[in-house]
Chains A and B, each alone.
Chain A
Amino acid sequence: MNLVLIGVNHKSAPLEVRERLAIPAARLEEATLSLLSVPCVREGMILSTCNRVEFLTYQEPAQADLLEFIRNYFAVDTDVLRPYIYEYRASEVVRHLFRVASSLDSLVIGEPQILGQVKGSYTVARSIGGVNNNLDPLMQRAFTVARKVRNQTSIGVSSVSIASVAVDLARKIFGSLQGKTILLMGAGKMGELAARSLMHQGAGKIYLCNRTDERAAELAEKFSSCPHAAGQSSATASPVAQATPYASLHQVAATADIIVSSTGSEQPIFLRRDAEHYMHRRKQRPMFFIDIAVPRDVDPEINGVEGVFVYNIDDLQAVAISNLSNRAKEALDAEAIVRAEVERYTRRMHSLDGVPSIVALQESLEEVRQNELRRMTSRLSHLTSEELHAVEQMTRSLVHKLQHAPIQAIKRAAQEGDRETLATIQSVFDLEHRAKDAEDAPITEKAKTSAPLPAMAASESIESAFVPTPDATRPASSGTDSAPKSISEKEDCLP
């Protein structure tokens, strides 16, 4: 496998380095095209997120200088970058890619966005011909592995951010958040984020309250201007955001199912007696207080009121940390899945490496068979068609039997990565040139042609065998014809 991946990520490089190499989505296509123009880079793809910039390539026939590409494209001194850059080759690339797609290499293990980002990069690269016969199966497998990890482990089940923990807790209390009312108290950034997450889950109405009414109105305007509820368009079902004066806080609070508070108040705003009053007015329907303020806005005593649940910033953080440690445990299972998948993929790739030799051997023996039959044409002319058919069957069977042992040896050598044996077999049967031709065929074609004999169908008559049709037995080697010329014609490679 001539896979090479170089890049930087949140573990290898500080933000200052990553931002020098970051490629915005709008420039991804152009950057990928530049990567593909590097000599010997046959296929290529770029993954650029806030935590990583990686260049995945399939190189042939020699090694490409990707550092040179980085130096030219980003106009940076590669000597400075070198300590931060990692490089993977062959099966290491497969492992790294599977781990990245499965979110095992992410800053927050198990976060779901990375798979979408990888798919985005893949789509861009594919649209410009950067992903073909060699990278395509690898990427497809990476997506499958990522799905397998998600389905077979709980790596992405629990929330690890404060806002998503708040949403999870609200769901544990109310089930669906459809139609629920939220009161956002204060203008803290985290409070706003939590309220937005709740609105995204379908909460129906949000009241905004602040000591200064203008600020509340400003926030209400912000919430009204963009659609929050999942699946709702701003034109049809924009949630109602309403600023409420501080004086009517307790009146509004009694109608709210969820209260998010993040003010800078020195004293608690919500006291136990307030909560008791709310619950009485609400006929004991549950209430959820999310207190993100420091010092706290919600008297902790309120948690003692039946039907009221109070979570402060420490509580939310504790849940997030606990979920994170659960993810770390699940990550061990996920790593085992990735390990097994890498092994399976590598084995399959090795065995595919043997296919060109098998095809070449089959072609060679078939050619010998047909030549011999042609040579004997005059001597066999007195035979009836049944007898000719029998001769045809016999020669075919003979070839089958003769090629069985070397094919098994090729397969074994390919699976074990034993290139020496492969080379010996190729040399003994004089297959080097044929194997080279077969290698140029697309992978799917190679897999097809690994079936027993590619020669004639059983129904073909012996007469047709006397007519030389060498191309009929050749595997589809036109795979590279469809590849962009700029890629296939590159020859200016490093030794």
Chain B
Amino acid sequence: MTMYLIWLRVALVLYGVASLTVIPDVLTGHDRWRKFVHPVCVSAFYFHLVALVEMMRLAHHWVPASLHEVETSFALLLTITFLAIYWRYRAISFGMFVLPVIFLLLLLPAAHPDHAPVSNQWMHNGWILLHIALLLVAYTLLLFSLLASLLYLIQERRLKSKQIGGIFSHLPPLDTIDQIAFRTLVIGLPCMTLGLLAGSLIAQESVGAAYFLDPKVLLSIGMWVLYVLMLYVRRHTGLRGKRAVYLSSLVFLMALTVWVANQFSTVHRFAAP
């Protein structure tokens, strides 16, 4: 068995433990749970990072191209963002949703080595690495923004209905959740823009103008426009609550569609053997 599988399995177990212990933390708000969840997450992150580096080193490239590599990288970005939000805002509630997602994302890569490793001339191209890394970061931040909008909606409903106790009584304040939702979007915009630009440069060089007629590429541009529009609306009208959730969900759905469109794209299939 390769070493990275051992590290990844350790990380998986730790994420599993964190996913379970974060629930009483969020529901009861007791500090003793928080003292446990945080170090477990940091340890999981450490093993996860070591496993990813080892995995990529064995694959002889740094571009996450295969399903296992993309899942492992995306899960690591989710962990980093979760920990960053926790350190900045002390908002552990995100863990209740994100940690199980990370756990599920790592299940397959930790089960067995990748049976269909990807290898072609693009794997050593720095622009491709930049393109994929930046877009993964943008998707991660978009996911967190959507999550924050949902938490905002839950907290708003609780306050409006005057049901202060019970489940979710320890969610962060509305204003904090709103800041998280907005700031993740703001940071995500340059990542998405630069990621798409890097992709365009590669496409221009390899396929030429025909690339821009591909459905995936068109959907990507649509997603970017929608993203910018959402940011503009949020900034200038102070959109919050229900409508913010709808808008974030729309952009996230668009992002998923772009991802799925890989299967129908004729030119954006660099990962194919």
Chain A residues with a Cβ under 8 A of chain B: 154, 157, 169, 171-175, 282-286, 303, 306-307, 309, 311, 315, 318-319, 322-323, 326
Contact = CB atoms under 8 A, between A and B. Distances in A.
A289 B238 CA distance: 20
A172 B174 contact: yes
Contact of A306 (B162, B173, B236, B240): B240
A175 B172 CA distance: 8
B165 A322 contact: yes
B200 to A, nearest CB: 35
Interface string B142-183: 000000000000011001101011000000111110000000
A169 B159 contact: yes
Given A173-B159, A174-B173, A174-B175, A319 B241 contact: no
B242 interface: yes
A322 B165 CA distance: 8
A207 B176 CA distance: 25
A175 B238 contact: no
Given A284-B239, A309-B159, A175 B176 contact: yes
A7 B129 CA distance: 77
Nearest to B158: A172
B256 to A, nearest CB: 27
27 contacts: A154-B29, A157-B29, A169-B159, A172-B155, A172-B164, A173-B159, A173-B174, A174-B174, A175-B173, A175-B174, A175-B175, A175-B176, A284-B237, A284-B238, A284-B239, A284-B240, A285-B238, A286-B174, A286-B175, A306-B241, A307-B240, A307-B241, A309-B159, A309-B160, A315-B162, A319-B162, A326-B165
Given A306-B240, A307-B241, A173 B173 contact: yes
Give the size range of B's interface with the partner.
20 to 34
B267 to A, nearest CB: 42
Given A173-B175, A175-B175, A286-B174, 9 more contacts: A173-B159, A173-B173, A175-B173, A175-B176, A283-B237, A286-B175, A322-B164, A322-B165, A323-B165
B159 to A, nearest CB: 5
A284 B178 CA distance: 12
Contacts of B30: 154
A157 B164 CA distance: 13
Contacts of A326: 165
Contacts of B172: 175
Contact of B242 (A154, A283, A285, A306): A306
Ranked nearest first, the 4 interchain pairs of A and B with the lowest CB-CB distance are: A283-B238, A284-B238, A175-B173, A175-B175
Interface string B219-245: 000000000000000001111111000
Which of the listed residues B29, B155, B175 has the most CB atoms from chain A within 10 Å of its own CB? B175
Nearest to A288: B159
A285 B239 CA distance: 9
Interface of B: 29-30, 155-156, 159-160, 162, 164-165, 172-176, 236-242
Contacts of A319: 162, 164
B243 to A, nearest CB: 8
A178 to B, nearest CB: 11
Nearest to B28: A154
Nearest to A180: B175
A284 B30 CA distance: 33
A309 B174 CA distance: 12
Which of the listed residues A285, A286, A315 has the most CB atoms from chain B within 10 Å of its own CB? A286
Given A283-B238, A284-B239, A306-B240, A169 B164 contact: yes
A303 B29 CA distance: 27
Contacts of B160: 303, 309
Contacts of B240: 284, 286, 306-307
A319 B29 CA distance: 18
A234 B237 CA distance: 38
Which of the listed residues B162, B173, B238, B240 has the most CB atoms from chain A within 10 Å of its own CB? B162
Contacts of B242: 306
A173 B178 CA distance: 10
A197 B175 CA distance: 20
B173 to A, nearest CB: 4
A373 B61 CA distance: 87
A61 B238 CA distance: 76
A172 B159 contact: yes
A64 B219 CA distance: 91
Which of the listed residues B155, B156, B160, B241 has the most CB atoms from chain A within 10 Å of its own CB? B160
B1 to A, nearest CB: 44
Contacts of A309: 159-160
Nearest to B178: A286
B112 to A, nearest CB: 45
A380 B239 CA distance: 101
Nearest to A304: B160
Contacts of B239: 284
A171 B238 contact: no
A154 B29 CA distance: 10
Given A318-B162, A322-B165, A326-B165, A282 B238 contact: yes
Contacts of A322: 164-165
Nearest to B30: A154
Contacts of A285: 238
Contacts of B236: 283
A198 to B, nearest CB: 15
Contacts of A173: 159, 173-175
Nearest to A314: B162
A157 B176 CA distance: 21
A307 B175 CA distance: 11
Contacts of A172: 155, 159, 164, 173-174
Contacts of B173: 171-175
Contacts of A318: 162
Nearest to A307: B240
A101 to B, nearest CB: 22
A157 B31 CA distance: 12
A68 to B, nearest CB: 49
B51 to A, nearest CB: 37
A5 to B, nearest CB: 34
A8 B137 CA distance: 66
A283 B172 CA distance: 22
Contacts of A282: 238
A148 to B, nearest CB: 13
Which of the listed residues A171, A322, A326 has the most CB atoms from chain B within 10 Å of its own CB? A322
B196 to A, nearest CB: 30
A171 B237 CA distance: 24
Contacts of A174: 173-175
Nearest to A305: B160
